[in-house]
């Protein structure tokens, strides 16, 4: 028999119970015991509901109150010194590591977070040094295995593997120079041995050991470490399912196939092409192959026929007993259940499959491959065939106007009329900005009043007209404030936007929105990505009204504000039937029209934010060029349709440019703003070294904290920036939007920023 499995389940709870309980605990409204009770219910519901779908291998141990990597660090005693000895309970130490703590005389910042591979999920980066003292503070795998068992479900526990744990971590500040976390492997393995021995003693037959680093190019150098680790662990552990996801194994397969593990999981959603190689490599072993044919990353119904055809290749080669049908990755990246959506049309609902529905999918596919004649299985197979056919039919009805426009894009469409040097002169006259122009990234504080007004509009307690009046007043406040303190290039403050992607999605054709499809971004922060379901087009202007209103209030230039095509794509659930490139170009054309309309309406500077361009980079370097080509082309397409006098801006929320530098230059934005306040001047040296030619506004202070940067502090930053960058290229701005800040610190910080720029004008 072919069996079925799920690699991990969303943690939020069908009604956001976990998010609510965690936040209530932070606010001191419930006790640690209440929190444990609330989460126990959700875990139990997940285990039983996945099992009830007919899944053979139900995961446990991957549940988390904040982040599974953080859980692992806490369990293995990888706790940086700054969190120790503060008199906090273990639970509070854990949350302090995740989100910092500023209360009762304790003041510690959060640990660094990083994106989990190419997803929008962030994990808390473990910090290692020679002094790291691994020990098992608690055995979450065993505890949750027992907890599930008591609830009537025998699970397959999930554990983050030792090599990925070390590789995903970083050397702590007090580590010796040159220290590499992977050097700790010999010290770490005994603790894993204890964990796995206990798990076996508790009765676990299998354990899912996640080693996602195996899909990275860098794993090519880790053969020795993987061999040592798994040779030591396999004899004491339950049967190990070595689990990889998000990309392909490539040459790493050469050594992976020789590891003494009982099973191997591969992602066939992202990398179906690897199946034959993998089958060939493990054919003459006893390794069980887990096939990730049901996507853990999207929300589309799986095409059973296609999945069965693919999986049959493995079944034919190694037999039913050695094949497991699985989700491609944990379902952490999908919403809990379609049952919570009441507003989708019947047609739309039939296209999708969320976590719980995906659990049922793996079970049905496995049953079909096992030759089941069960009436329910046959009915599910038949129903899937009909749904997929309907979706395919819908997909075949494309928007010809958009398709033709994309097909007709020429290289000329991507280029501004004149080179930057010429544009710069024209813009200088037209915009008449002073030296070291001051500006902001776009949003101003999204106050409680703004959120309440939006909620009231949603509930019908405010009419559209009343809401517009309210937003107009907000815009006016923001404009007057900027004039008062003397900023040079103004913004309207984005009060009308619920979210920088959703706001645009709602005004474009081709998107569908959900009510409850929450996906974890980090900690208790969840996002509800829009879904692209059809060709994208712009029925009419999206931002022109607000930008021109804002411009009408002032003599100073107003900067239009848009979210870029690649970011809209990366922060949505994309279609699976056409390429990301096509979707990105369609978005780019819609934005291009918006940019042109803004210019016509008298707006002279437009910012197209692309904070997600880097996170969309493929995991394998061999795939980078293709991605960067269409990603950069999309940005250029959206911004190049204007005259020389229009100043284009773009913004990036990170400072990691080293390896994609030529692409940043190729964007050819007149001005870019980047996060620089936390990254020292190393970043600017990169720009200098590559001879970046356009204007640049490295953030002069960190907006992620309420702290107000002093006047002198900003001057010092400008000084060190000007040591590196030519004065004619420097803009002065904070390092991101101000929507999460309060007015008090915003006001004080921006006044200091303007003063520092004025000082610089006098000195340079």
- Contacting positions for Zn ion (CB under 5 A): 653, 736
Binding-site member from 196, 402, 561, 566 for ligand GLN (CB under 6 A): 561
Let me know if 467 is exposed, middle or buried by CB neighbors in 10 A (0-12, 13-18, 19+).
middle
Q: Residue 69 interacts with ligand GLN (CB under 6 A)? A: no
Q: Which of residues 606-625 bind ligand GLN (CB under 6 A)?
A: 609, 611
- Decide: 521 and 122 in contact? Cβ < 8 Å: yes
Strand partners, 76: none
Q: Which is nearer to ligand GLN, 333 or 651 (CB)?
A: 651
> Residue 736, annotated ligand binder?
yes
Q: Residue 211 interacts with ligand GLN (CB under 6 A)? A: no
- Decide: 530 and 511 in contact? Cβ < 8 Å: yes
Q: Residue 487 interacts with ligand GLN (CB under 6 A)? A: no
Calpha distance 495→518 (Å, rounded) = 23
Binding-site member from 737, 750, 753, 756 for ligand GLN (CB under 6 A): 737
Calpha distance 353→358 (Å, rounded) = 6
Q: How far is the CB of 19 from ligand GLN (least distance, A)?
A: 21
Taking CB within 5 to 8 Å according to partner kind, which of ligand GLN, Zn ion, none is near residue 495? none
Q: What are phi and psi of 320, to 5 degrees?
A: -55, -40
Binding-site member from 500, 553, 619, 640 for ligand GLN (CB under 6 A): 500
Q: How far is the CB of 8 from ligand GLN (least distance, A)?
A: 27
The span from the first CA to the last CA of the chain, in angstroms, equals 76
Q: Which is nearer to ligand GLN, 599 or 735 (CB)?
A: 735
Q: How far is the CB of 487 from ligand GLN (least distance, A)?
A: 14
- Decide: 170 and 66 in contact? Cβ < 8 Å: no
Calpha distance 706→409 (Å, rounded) = 45
Q: Within its chain, how far is the Cα of 382 from the centroid?
A: 35
Q: Which is nearer to Zn ion, 500 or 631 (CB)?
A: 500
Calpha distance 555→565 (Å, rounded) = 30
Q: Residue 505 interacts with ligand GLN (CB under 6 A)? A: no
Calpha distance 504→511 (Å, rounded) = 10
> Residue 494, annotated ligand binder?
yes
Q: Which is nearer to ligand GLN, 11 or 651 (CB)?
A: 651
Strand partners, 439: 489
Let me know if 477 is exposed, middle or buried by CB neighbors in 10 A (0-12, 13-18, 19+).
middle
> Residue 523, annotated ligand binder?
no
Instruction: Choose the stretch contacting ligand GLN; rule: CB under 6 A; options: 20-28, 471-479, 514-522, 736-744.
Output: 736-744
To the nearest 10 degrees (0 to 180), the angle between helices 375-396 and 304-318 is 120
Q: Which residue is nearest to ligand GLN (CB)?
A: 737
Binding-site member from 166, 168, 216, 736 for ligand GLN (CB under 6 A): 736
Q: Residue 566 interacts with ligand GLN (CB under 6 A)? A: no
Q: Which is nearer to ligand GLN, 168 or 703 (CB)?
A: 703
Instruction: Choose the stretch contacting ligand GLN; rule: CB under 6 A; options: 383-391, 420-428, 436-444, 654-662.
Output: 436-444
Strands (E), 161-205: 170-171
Q: Which is nearer to Zn ion, 190 or 706 (CB)?
A: 706
Q: Residue 325 interacts with ligand GLN (CB under 6 A)? A: no
122 has catalytic annotation:
no
Q: How far is the CB of 631 from ligand GLN (least distance, A)?
A: 16
Q: Which is nearer to ligand GLN, 120 or 132 (CB)?
A: 120
Taking CB within 5 to 8 Å according to partner kind, which of ligand GLN, Zn ion, none is near residue 561? ligand GLN
Q: Which is nearer to ligand GLN, 609 or 668 (CB)?
A: 609
**Of 752, 745, 741, 714, which Cα lies nearest the Cα of 730?**
714
Q: Residue 675 interacts with ligand GLN (CB under 6 A)? A: no
Q: Residue 475 interacts with ligand GLN (CB under 6 A)? A: no
Q: Residue 51 interacts with ligand GLN (CB under 6 A)? A: no
Calpha distance 37→13 (Å, rounded) = 13
Strand partners, 290: 265, 324
Calpha distance 295→575 (Å, rounded) = 13
297: tokens are 């990353």
> Residue 365, annotated ligand binder?
no
- Decide: 3 and 289 in contact? Cβ < 8 Å: no
**Of 389, 576, 559, which Cα lies nearest the Cα of 490?**
559
Q: How far is the CB of 443 from ligand GLN (least distance, A)?
A: 3
Q: Which is nearer to ligand GLN, 50 or 441 (CB)?
A: 441
510: tokens are 């081709």
Q: How far is the CB of 539 from ligand GLN (least distance, A)?
A: 23
Q: Residue 651 interacts with ligand GLN (CB under 6 A)? A: yes
Compute how many residues bind ligand GLN; rule: CB under 6 A: 12
Where helices occur in 30-89 by DSSP H, the ranges are: 32-52, 68-75
Calpha distance 245→268 (Å, rounded) = 9
Calpha distance 418→643 (Å, rounded) = 9
Q: Which is nearer to Zn ion, 192 or 652 (CB)?
A: 652
Binding-site member from 416, 454, 739, 741 for ligand GLN (CB under 6 A): 739
Q: Within its chain, how far is the Cα of 462 from the centroid?
A: 34
**If you ran DSSP here, which 8-state letter would residue 698 be given?**
E
> Residue 571, annotated ligand binder?
yes
Q: Residue 699 interacts with ligand GLN (CB under 6 A)? A: no
> Residue 34, annotated ligand binder?
no
Q: Which of residues 441-460 bind ligand GLN (CB under 6 A)?
A: 441-443
Sheet holding 695-698, edge to edge: 559-563, 605-609, 647-652, 671-674, 695-698
Strand partners, 326: 5, 292
Q: Residue 653 interacts with ligand GLN (CB under 6 A)? A: yes
**If you ran DSSP here, which 8-state letter would residue 119 be given?**
S
Taking CB within 5 to 8 Å according to partner kind, which of ligand GLN, Zn ion, none is near residue 543? none
Q: Report the SS3 class of residue 559.
A: strand
Phi-psi region of 180 (alpha: psi -120 to 50; beta: other; left: phi over 0): beta
Instruction: Choose the stretch contacting ligand GLN; rule: CB under 6 A; options: 76-84, 385-393, 440-448, 713-721.
Output: 440-448
Which listed residue (68, 333, 509, 704) is catalytic? 704
Write out the residues near ligand GLN by the rule CB under 6 A: 441-443, 500, 561, 609, 611, 651, 653, 736-737, 739
Which residues fall in the annotated binding site for L-methionine? 441-443, 494, 609
Q: Which residues are catalytic?
A: 704
Which residues fall in the annotated binding site? 19, 120, 441-443, 494, 571, 609, 651, 653, 675, 736
């Amino acid at each position: 028999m072919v069996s079925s499995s799920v690699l991990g389940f969303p943690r939020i709870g069908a009604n956001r119970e976990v998010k609510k309980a965690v936040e209530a605990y932070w606010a001191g409204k419930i006790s640690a015991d209440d929190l444990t009770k609330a989460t126990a219910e959700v875990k139990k519901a997940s285990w039983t509901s996945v099992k009830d779908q007919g899944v053979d291998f139900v995961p446990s141990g991957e549940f988390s109150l904040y982040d599974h990597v953080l859980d692992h660090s806490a369990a293995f005693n990888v706790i940086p010194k700054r969190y120790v000895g503060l008199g906090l309970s273990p639970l509070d130490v854990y949350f302090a590591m995740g989100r910092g703590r500023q209360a009762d005389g304790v003041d510690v910042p959060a640990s660094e977070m990083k994106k989990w591979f190419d997803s929008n999920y962030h994990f808390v980066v473990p910090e290692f040094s020679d002094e790291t003292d691994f020990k098992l503070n608690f055995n979450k795998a065993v505890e949750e295995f027992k907890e599930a068992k008591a609830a009537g479900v025998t699970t397959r526990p999930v554990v983050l593997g030792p090599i990925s744990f070390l590789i995903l971590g970083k050397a702590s500040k007090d580590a010796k120079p040159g220290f590499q976390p992977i050097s700790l492997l010999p010290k770490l393995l005994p603790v894993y041995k204890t964990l796995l021995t206990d798990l076996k003693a508790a009765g676990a037959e299998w354990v899912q050991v996640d080693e996602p680093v195996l899909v990275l190019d860098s794993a090519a150098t880790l053969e020795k470490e993987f061999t040592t680790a798994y040779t030591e662990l396999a004899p004491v552990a339950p049967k190990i399912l070595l689990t990889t996801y998000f990309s392909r194994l490539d040459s790493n397969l050469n050594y992976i196939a020789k590891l003494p593990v009982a099973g191997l999981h591969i992602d066939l959603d992202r990398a179906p092409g690897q199946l034959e190689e993998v089958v060939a490599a493990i054919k003459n072993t006893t390794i069980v192959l887990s096939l990730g044919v049901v996507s853990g990353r999207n929300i589309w119904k799986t095409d059973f026929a296609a999945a069965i055809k693919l999986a049959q290749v493995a079944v034919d080669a190694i037999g039913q007993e050695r094949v497991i049908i699985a989700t491609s990755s944990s379902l952490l990246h999908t919403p809990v259940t379609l049952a919570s959506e009441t507003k989708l049309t019947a047609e739309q609902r039939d296209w999708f499959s969320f976590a719980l529905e995906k659990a049922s999918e793996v079970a049905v596919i496995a049953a079909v491959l096992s030759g089941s004649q069960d009436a329910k299985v046959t009915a599910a197979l038949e129903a899937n065939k009909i749904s997929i056919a309907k979706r395919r039919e819908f997909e075949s009805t494309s928007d010809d106007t958009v398709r033709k426009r994309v097909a007709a894009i020429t290289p000329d469409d991507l280029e501004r009329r004149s080179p930057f040097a010429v544009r710069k002169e024209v813009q200088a006259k037209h915009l008449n900005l002073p030296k070291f122009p001051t500006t902001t990234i776009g949003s101003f504080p999204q106050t409680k009043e703004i959120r309440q007004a939006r909620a009231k509009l949603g509930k019908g307690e405010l009419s559209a007209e009343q809401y517009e009046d309210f937003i107009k007043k907000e815009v006016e406040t923001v404009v007057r404030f900027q004039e008062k303190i003397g900023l040079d290039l103004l913004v309207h403050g984005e009060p009308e936007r619920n979210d920088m992607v959703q706001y645009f999605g709602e005004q474009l054709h081709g998107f569908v929105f959900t009510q409850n499809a929450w996906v974890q971004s980090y900690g208790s922060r969840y996002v509800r990505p829009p879904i692209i379901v059809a060709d994208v087009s712009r029925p009419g202007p999206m931002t022109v009204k607000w930008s021109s209103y804002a411009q009408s209030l002032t003599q100073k230039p107003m900067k239009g504000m848009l979210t870029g095509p690649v970011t809209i794509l990366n922060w949505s659930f994309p279609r699976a039937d056409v390429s990301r490139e096509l979707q990105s170009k369609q978005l780019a054309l819609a934005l291009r029209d918006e940019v042109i309309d803004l210019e016509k309406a008298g707006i002279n500077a437009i910012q197209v934010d692309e904070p997600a361009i880097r996170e969309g980079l493929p995991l394998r370097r061999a795939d980078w060029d293709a991605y960067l080509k269409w990603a950069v082309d999309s940005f250029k397409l959206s911004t190049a349709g204007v005259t020389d006098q229009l100043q284009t801006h773009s913004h990036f929320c990170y400072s990691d440019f080293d390896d994609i530098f030529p692409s940043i230059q190729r964007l050819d934005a007149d001005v870019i703003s980047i996060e620089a306040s936390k990254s020292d001047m190393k970043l600017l040296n990169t720009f200098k070294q590559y001879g970046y030619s356009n204007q640049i506004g490295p953030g002069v202070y960190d907006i992620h904290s309420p702290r107000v940067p002093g006047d002198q502090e900003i001057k010092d930053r400008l000084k060190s920036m000007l040591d590196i960058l030519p004065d004619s290229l420097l803009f002065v701005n904070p390092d991101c939007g101000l929507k999460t800040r309060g007015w008090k610190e915003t006001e004080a910080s921006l006044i200091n920023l303007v003063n520092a720029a004025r000082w610089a004008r006098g000195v340079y």
